Each structure stands twice: as C-alpha cells, then as structure tokens.
Structure 1
Amino acid sequence: MYRILIVEDDMGIAEAIKEQAKLWELEAKCVQNFRNVLKDFADYEPHLILMDISLPFFNGYHWCQEIRKASKVPIIFISSASDNMNIVMAMNMGADDFISKPFDQSVLIAKIQALLRRAYDFGETLPILEHHGAMLNTGDNTLVYQDQVISLTKNEYRILFTLMKNKGKVVSREKLMEQLWETDSFVDDNTLTVNITRLRKKLESAGLTQFVTTKFGIGYLIS
C-alpha cells in the first residue's frame, strides 16, 4: 500500500484528503508538528507528499528544499496561492505537480495515482534514516545535514547505517565488524577503531559533535 504524507495545516482539508485516500486503498498520514516536518517524513517513509505553501513556522518551499536534499520522493503542492509565480517557484524548488485550491477530490486522487505509477513502476525508493536533522540517504551513501552533503566511504556508511537503524540502543563492536565484513574488506578490531575515528571527524567538521557515543567495553550508541 502506498503511503501519502499530507503537509497541510487546515485539518479539515487534511482529514478529508486522508479519508478520500483510504477509499482508493492509499494509506495517509497528516503532519501534526509543523516545526519538524522532516521527522515525520523520515519516520513515515512516504511514497508521495502533498504540500501546502502557507504553513506555520516554515513554508512549504522550505520543506520541499529540505526534502530534496536527501530524496526524490514525488511532491505535489496544493495551495490557493495559485498564481503563475507560485507555480513556477514550486516547480523550481523540486515539486512534481501543483494543484490549485479548491480542488475536486477525484482529480487530486487521479493525479496522485498517475504520479505514483510514473515514480514506482520500476521499484520502490530506498528509505531515509534521520536523527537530529541529519538524514542518511541509503540510495547514494551520503549524509545530509543543514546545507551540507557529507560523502561517506563504504565502511563509514555501513557503520552509520547500523547505528542509526538501532538508535537508542548500544551496538556492540562485534556486530559492527560483522556488518563491515559484508563489504569484503578485512576487518579487525583496530580497523573498526580507525573507521569510527574517521567517521567522527567527518561528522564533527559538519557540526555534528558527539553524534556517536562510545560505551566503553560494550560498543557505540546514537542516542
């Protein structure tokens, strides 16, 4: 079942879209915390996003740009601000379509279904892992934080992926070494230490200090 994330602060409109989506066997979630839309995006892993322009705290253009730093997920803007300038700006920010309010629900669903077919006929997108504003893109092995794109080596990516996938839990050194063995590289205890040190330096240079915590004698933790 395809998942739709609805970023719309008019709860009447948002809930109406959600109910209509259910009738077409589409799962939908309405964003509640407009201070941190990225968290809902990362947690829900939607196949498509419906985005209003006028939102509390940050507008839809801002969130579209932030999402585009890490994902190619289809985005449809829905807005009453449907003049040519806003439509052009939305498309330039990375939107895939624009629907003017008020709209017919059946037209909206038709556009959603058409965009989903075009985007996913050749397979699912890979997920995004997020923590404190840092997004790990599992499609191209990069970490995006604020306006920076941090390139990771194969080993650094596997370490960070394993830690972020288990955030809040201590991951043992043995488990991390097992993950690194999958890269067909020779990995011993010293090799893991070197990779962790290099990864931390990259994170710190990007402003992510104390992102990875050491639990001495046990392993590592992203808390």
Structure 2
Amino acid sequence: MFKIMMIEDDHVLFEEVRERLSQWSYEVCGVSDFGQVLQEFAACRPHLVIIDIQLPKYDGFHWCRMIRAHSKVPILFLSSRDHPTDMVMSMQLGADDFIQKPFHFDVLIAKIQAVLRRAYNYGNEQSAFRTWRGASVESAKNKVSAEEGTVLLTRNEMFILDFLLERRNAIVGREELIAALWNSEQFVSDNTLTVNVNRLRKKLDDIGLGQYIETKVGQGYMATEEAEA
C-alpha cells in the first residue's frame, strides 16, 4: 500500500480527498502542527507528498524546499493559485507536478498514479504481459493475440488498453485517461482520445474483442472481463 502525506489546512478538503484515496487503497496521513511539518513527514514516511502553497506559519514552497533537502520523495502541489510563477517556482524547488484547485478527482488520481509509476517503476512486470478474455496482451510489443489472430497497436492505443485493463469492469473517466496520457508524454485532446479509442476498438474487432471495450455515455470507457466462476 502506498502512503500519501497531504499537507493541507482545509480540513474539509483533506477529509474528502483522504476518503476518496482510501477507496483506491492509498493510506493518507495529514498534518496536526503546521510548524512541525518536517518532523511529521519523518514520522509518516510517505511515498508521495501532496502540498498546498498557502499554509499557516510557512508556505508550501518552504516545506517543499525542506523536504527536498532530506528526501527525493515525489511532491505534487495542489493549490488555488494559478499564476505561472507559482507553477515555475514549484518545479524549480523539485516538485513533480502541479494541480490547480478546483480539480476533478479523476485528474488527481491519474496524476498520483503517473507520479508513483515514474518514481517507483511499479506495475511494469505485471503489465508487460497479461491475459484478457482468453487473449494475450503484450504491452512491450504493442500486440494483442487471440485465437482469431494478432493485432498490432500504436503506442497510444496500447497505453489506453493497458489503462483500461488495470481497472477492468470499472468505468475509467475520459478526463482521467487524458491526464494519464499527458503524464506519460503522450498527450491527446478530448477529440483525439475518441479517435484513438475508436481505432483501438476497430482493431480489436478483428480478433473478436472490440465489443468488450464499452463506451459509457457521459462517463468514460470500460474494459469488461468475465466473472470468475
């Protein structure tokens, strides 16, 4: 289980984010004394830090600088401040990403997953080869093989399929997919996401799998899997 430290003085927001992240099996710790953040960081020992800029006593930039002096832990800023200098400052201090409030939770979780993936290189072994409805999915080769044959996917199509298969039988929001693609340096717009998904589905149709990538109108997409007996 990954542990996330959230340095946020808005108690309502903190509790909301903690509850939502717990549904994704993340453990979240907060701050009780904003004058002792570094000590609480050491006690929490998080895998990732989410930090606001405007905080009591010292701002988020100060604590980012202090944490960076002791640790390479990934840091993600979450702030209502939207001036470019704030974003530049956060990156110069060693932050890994910046999200502006108000935010969509799907975007937050996608960025958290992307930052953790880059920092800890998790998921690579299990996603390199997997099975789905009797087919073999080889991410490293951008290839899906079934009894009906084999199809080769583009990098974006393979990324989308992998992302959906990580959460099979669950709806993945369009915003979450776009954010994940952006964080993997494969940015697509809303329109081109639709094009990529349609191309992916058409290729999978050739081996009898296209119908199992479902569109959930107004929500996103879902890769379905047969329930285990």
Return the TM-score normalized by structure 1. Answer: 0.54
Post-superposition shift, 1:66? 0.4
1:157 alignment partner in structure 2: none
Matches of 2:62 and 2:54, distance apart in 1: 10
Matches of 2:16 and 2:39, distance apart in 1: 23
CA offset digits 1:61-105 (Å, max 9, x no partner): 000000111111000000001110100011111111000000011
Q: What is the number of equivalent residue pairs in this alignment?
A: 123
RMSD value, Cα: 1.3
Post-superposition shift, 1:57? 0.2
Q: Does 1:43 align with 2:47?
A: no
CA offset digits 1:101-155 (Å, max 9, x no partner): 0001111011001111110127xxxxxxxxxxxxxxxxxxxxxxxxxxxxxxxxx
Higher helix share: 2
Matches of 1:32 and 1:50, distance apart in 2: 15
Post-superposition shift, 1:31? 1.1
2:56 alignment partner in structure 1: 56
- Counterparts of 1:1-223 in structure 2 under 5 Å? 1-121=1-121
Q: Is the 8 A contact 1:4 1:27 kept in 2?
A: yes
Matches of 2:76 and 2:82, distance apart in 1: 13
Matches of 1:63 and 1:119, distance apart in 2: 20
Listed as ranges, the gaps of 5+ residues in structure 1 are 123-223
Matches of 1:32 and 1:114, distance apart in 2: 28
Where 1:25 maps in the other structure, the secondary structure is coil
Post-superposition shift, 1:26? 0.5
Matches of 1:36 and 1:3, distance apart in 2: 19
2:219 alignment partner in structure 1: none
Where 1:4 maps in the other structure, the secondary structure is strand
Return the TM-score normalized by structure 2. Answer: 0.52
Q: Please tell me the residue identity of whatever aligns with 1:67.
A: I
CA offset digits 1:193-222 (Å, max 9, x no partner): xxxxxxxxxxxxxxxxxxxxxxxxxxxxxx
Q: Is the 8 A contact 1:15 1:30 kept in 2?
A: no
Post-superposition shift, 1:18? 0.5
Matches of 1:69 and 1:48, distance apart in 2: 15
Listed as ranges, the gaps of 5+ residues in structure 2 are 123-229
Where 1:55 maps in the other structure, the secondary structure is coil
Matches of 1:39 and 1:16, distance apart in 2: 24
